[in-house]
Amino acid sequence: MPERGEKSPIWGSRFAEGPDPLFFAYGRSVAWDRRLAPEDIRGSLAHVHALAAAGVLAPDVAAELASALQSLGDRLAKGFELPIEPQDEDVHGAIERLLGPIGGYLHAGRSRNDQVALDFHLFCKAAAEELAAAVKELQAAILALCEAQGDKLWWGMTHLQPAQPVLVAHHWLAYFWMFERDRGRFLWAAGQADRSPLGAGALAGAGLPVDPLQTARELGLSAVYDNSMDAVSDRDFALDLGHAAATTALHLSRLGEEIVLFASPAFGRLELPDAFATGSSMMPQKKNADGAELLRGRAGRVLGAHLGLMTTLKGLPLAYVRDLQEDKEAVFGIVDTTRAGVRLAAAMLPRLKLLEARIPRGDLSLATDLADYLVRCGEPFREAHHIVGRAVQAAVAAGGDFTCLDDPTWRSMSAHFTPEALSNLLDPSLSPGRRAVPMGTAPAEVAKQLARAYQALA
């Protein structure tokens, strides 16, 4: 905190006194925006080059400034912390101070408004690309699980009730495609951040001839904004990243929920590796799926931060307003939480031990197969549904599944239910093969799906 009464070194002169300590602490962002120091230094270097190219800075000043920035950047790259002083308000002021007297030349033709917007574009673009790569690892982990253990059958469910037999690989591949779309959303978000606001100045455009295209190009950004007021005041590129992350977090939470459920003996569909399970401090027998529970639970943080940022941005007037400073903590949290979740899932998934689901012969989940068979024999589907519904009712009344019904009972329900037909229809292992439409769970279709999945990752 500055000494009482001490004025800001970068904007204090028009004030009679320095900020109240409470207000200074309230507005200070350096604790978290120091994370943008590498981006800030890169942006400043490009800005110095533009100032020199325009002849605004003398070559020797530009060279000294560039080398001061460079050596600070090198120190940070080696892992040194940005040294923060109590009077530093944000990362931009701290870096200008650390440059020493030569730093006084740096801010020509620039405002912290376009500066911070640039830093944040660079951060969001890199984060989106990194998250896309992390999601790709998770997708590869899903494929490894499917390859190694995907040929078993288990019940596909609707309403969490047994519905129809599906290949286990088919079940997990559903997540592969969710994450494939997430990856696309991250890449798209990276493209939305791939645009430079530098040169917008405070809001109306820089008053010195710095070429925005030159700085953009130097920073590896493909475009510049068309309007300086838009450039400094919107954070929709951060919302695009937030949306991609929120959807990923949501998918991770579904995945986490299923791992929790399936690891419970009530489902008995998988065994957790010890390395991803926790015990109880009281109950010695316990093996809990805390990792999966956290995948599910932490989605709340990501969704909350995303909604929080949208709420912050709602109703803001043009152009820069200080509310925009709230963008960074939200996005840092979103990025860190999502990245950690994606990595955890990628590490845990291939180590799950999927257990054989013993779908018994004559299981009621074959009811749709029986109805479809009657349709193939010429019955209207609704009538077929009624016939099989009565068979289900009789089986349940007999205390079991379709194997409880004897031949005469079947025959009384439909002449098409011959023992030969039933011997096929009541075998659960033959059920998936009947769903041989593209995207279906037939083994041949799942094999094609796997091939498409590998292709998507190639």
CB of 12 to ligand ARG, least distance (A): 13
Q: Where are the beta strands (DSSP E) in 135-254?
A: 153-158, 161-167, 195-196, 223-224
**98 DSSP assignment:** H
Choose, by CB under 6 A, the member of 325, 337, 431, 441 that binds ligand ARG: 325
**Nearest CB to ligand ARG, comparing residues 28 and 49:** 28
Bridge-based pairing state of the strands 353-354 and 153-158: unpaired
Binding mask 15-54 for ligand ARG (x = CB under 6 A): --------------x---x---------------------
Cα separation of 149 and 129, whole Å? 31
Residue 42 CA: distances (Å) to CA of 36, 50, 121, 122: 10, 13, 12, 9
d(CA 254, CA 266): 18
Measured in whole angstroms, how far is the alpha carbon of residue 295 from the centre of its chain?
A: 12
Contact mark string toward ligand ARG, 276..315, x via CB under 6 A: ----------------------------------------
Is 159 considered catalytic here?
yes
For 204, list phi and psi in degrees, rounded to 5.
-100, 0
Q: Mention every residue, 6+ apart, whose C-beta is less than 8 A from residue 346.
A: 134, 137, 138, 140, 141
Looking at the Cβ atoms of 122 and 134, the one nearer to ligand ARG is 122
Strands (E), 256-349: 270-271
The CA distance from 60 to 64, in Å, is 6
112, 269, 298, 306: residue in contact with ligand ARG (rule CB under 6 A): 112
Concatenated DSSP letters of 357-388: P---TT-GGGHHHHHHHHHHTT--HHHHHHHH
CB of 33 to ligand ARG, least distance (A): 6
Using the contact rule CB under 6 A, the part of the chain among 111-119, 272-280, 412-420, 422-430 near ligand ARG is 111-119
Indicate which single residue of 113, 149, 248, 365 sits in contact with ligand ARG (rule: CB under 6 A): 113
Q: Which is nearer to ligand ARG, 26 or 281 (CB)?
A: 26
Q: How many residues does the chain have?
A: 458
- Chain positions 353 to 382 lying near ligand ARG, rule: CB under 6 A, are none
* Sole binder of ligand ARG in the list 40, 90, 180, 234 (CB under 6 A): 90
Which of 161, 322, 397, 415 binds ligand ARG (CB under 6 A)? It is 322
* Member of 176, 320, 402, 417 binding ligand ARG (CB under 6 A): 320
Considering only 116, 289, 345, 384, the residue that binds ligand ARG (CB under 6 A) is 116
- Measured from the CB atom, the residue of 107 and 343 that comes closer to ligand ARG is 107
Active site residue 280: yes
Residue with smaller CB distance to ligand ARG, 202 or 294: 202
Helix (H) or strand (E) segment spanning residue 202: none
Query: How far is 280 from 327, CA to CA, in rounded Å?
Result: 39
C-alpha to C-alpha distance for 281 and 289, rounded to whole angstroms: 15
Catalytic residue among 71, 222, 264, 280: 280
* Least gap, CB of 44 to ligand ARG (angstroms): 14
Q: Catalytic amino acids?
A: 159, 280
Q: Residues in the site for ligand ARG, rule: CB under 6 A?
A: 29, 33, 90, 112-113, 116, 320, 322, 324-325
